[in-house]
Structure 1
Amino acid sequence: MTSQQQRLEELQQQAKELAEQIEQLKAEGAREVKQPRDNLLGRWARHEEYGHVLIACQHADERGGLFVAYPDDGFPDGADGRYANQRELTFPEQTTRPQDVPVGEAWLVDAQDRVRTEKDVVALKTKDDLWTSSGFLEWTDDEVELITPLIPARPHDTPETVTTEEEYGALPEGSIVAKPGEDPWTHKPYVWEQRGAITDDMMLSGTTRHVLRWGR
């Protein structure tokens, strides 16, 4: 092999590595999402020191401060809270794209296609590149903007499923339950609501449903 051929191969390898780096940067850029400003109460985020934290206020103060709560076995109720700057938090939608969400997960989303727009709706990832929201509306990954995952507010002691009338009744207002292939039920004052339909703990009992969200 001549020195010219060797140099050509080196340049080709460098070009290949550069192209891979460009594609990686594009992918990272596609995942970059601005931090949310409003409706922060009850949302989960990640803090480098405190781990998973639950935001306990609606908006950041003028300095960007948010009061957050997080599990801490050193306290009687198993949780601690303090102020953290919003810049120190990473929200799930900043590191997750709709296409990365596993099938079966439920999220609060904004969705839009050529015909309609839905804001702050519960959507279930039913299969690859397909989301289903209330009213059997369907959306593709590129029509969905993630807001926050519907996960229990107290993951260390919250049941994953409910079946009996007592278990349904024990869930606080704002809780959301569902089973595969079914629109979610939301716990309103004294009743459960699904797309305008109303029922109670007794009528839901006997069917096992997953707890998508515990409380508000």
Structure 2
Amino acid sequence: MNSEQRLEELKRRAKELAERIGKLEDQLNNAQPTTGLLGRWAINRHGKQVLITADRPVGGWIETAYVSPDGATSEKVEEFARLTFPDQTTRPEDVPVGEAWLVDADAGDASTTNTPAVKESTGLWITGENNEGGVRAWSDNEVTLITPLIPARPQDTPETVTTEDEYAALPEGSVVAKPGFQPWTQRGYTWIYRDHSRSTAEMAGTTRHVLRWGR
């Protein structure tokens, strides 16, 4: 075997190895957790968001709670293998505009960890105060998703807010936005978007979705 043939053989082996690594990564990324499930959110086979109320499955089944649009809470045992976990299967580029997530972000010259971020537009994420301070934008390839920011007590969380009283009732750290528009974060008695700020009274009158309930 001459040097040229040897090089081609090494390239072939490298390609095979890369394909095997890719398959293993897919398996790891799509693998379901088996413990530490209490309080996590999942999607059931009907496409409904359910809150897991047990730490681990038993006999292939796990206890969950579902909150209907009218606020009523119901408990149900789900087949664990048929649940999906959005934070494990979603890529930053797949997240719809307007969703809020807990993320790590690294752009080389700046980084932030375990911080709330909102998908502001296609390919663009916004975080609040990061490790270097201030507000910053990140591209999809600079973001690592940790978990979606879904209220821990959904039965207490309005889907939208419009009036001054409704805005005032949201705890600090809440994030609201109209679909396709910029997200506003509650800081003390002020709502912040980048270097803009509004009072609760100024926010009132416009209906916005609650993307995050408190910190």
Taking structure 2 as the reference length, what is the TM-score of the superposition? 0.58
Q: Does 1:69 align with 2:65?
A: yes
- Give me the whole-angstrom Cα distance separating, in 1, the residues matched to 2:187 and 2:205: 17
- Give me the whole-angstrom Cα distance separating, in 1, the residues matched to 2:199 and 2:99: 25
Amino acid at match of 2:109: V
Cα drift, residue 130 of structure 1:
1.9
Partner of 2:212: 213
Asked whether the equivalents of residues 36 and 56 of structure 2 are also in contact (C-alpha less than 8 Å), the reply is no
Partner of 2:95: 101
- Give me the whole-angstrom Cα distance separating, in 2, the residues matched to 1:207 and 1:72: 25
Cα drift, residue 144 of structure 1:
0.8
- Give me the whole-angstrom Cα distance separating, in 2, the residues matched to 1:206 and 1:49: 35
Partner SS for 1:32: helix
- Give me the whole-angstrom Cα distance separating, in 2, the residues matched to 1:201 and 1:66: 42
- Give me the whole-angstrom Cα distance separating, in 1, the residues matched to 2:42 and 2:77: 13
Cα drift, residue 165 of structure 1:
0.8
| Counterparts in 2 of 1:49 and 1:138: CA distance versus 1, 3 Å | closer
Partner of 1:145: 144
Partner SS for 2:167: helix
- Give me the whole-angstrom Cα distance separating, in 2, the residues matched to 1:128 and 1:26: 28
CA distances 1:155-197 after superposition (whole Å, capped 9, x unpaired):
9x8333x232122134456642235664532376xx45648x9
Amino acid at match of 1:213: R
Greater shift, 162-171 or 146-155, is seen at 146-155
- Give me the whole-angstrom Cα distance separating, in 2, the residues matched to 1:89 and 1:107: 20
Report the number of matched residues.
184
Asked whether the equivalents of residues 98 and 146 of structure 1 are also in contact (C-alpha less than 8 Å), the reply is yes
Partner SS for 2:165: helix
- Give me the whole-angstrom Cα distance separating, in 1, the residues matched to 2:171 and 2:158: 11
Q: % of aligned pairs identical?
A: 42
Taking structure 1 as the reference length, what is the TM-score of the superposition? 0.58
Amino acid at match of 2:167: Y
Partner of 1:92: 86
Amino acid at match of 1:102: P
Asked whether the equivalents of residues 176 and 212 of structure 1 are also in contact (C-alpha less than 8 Å), the reply is yes
Gaps of 5+ in 1: 1-21
Asked whether the equivalents of residues 163 and 207 of structure 1 are also in contact (C-alpha less than 8 Å), the reply is yes
Partner of 2:201: 202
Cα drift, residue 97 of structure 1:
0.7
Asked whether the equivalents of residues 98 and 183 of structure 2 are also in contact (C-alpha less than 8 Å), the reply is no
Q: Does 1:112 align with 2:93?
A: no
Partner SS for 2:168: helix
| Counterparts in 2 of 1:39 and 1:115: CA distance versus 1, 3 Å | farther
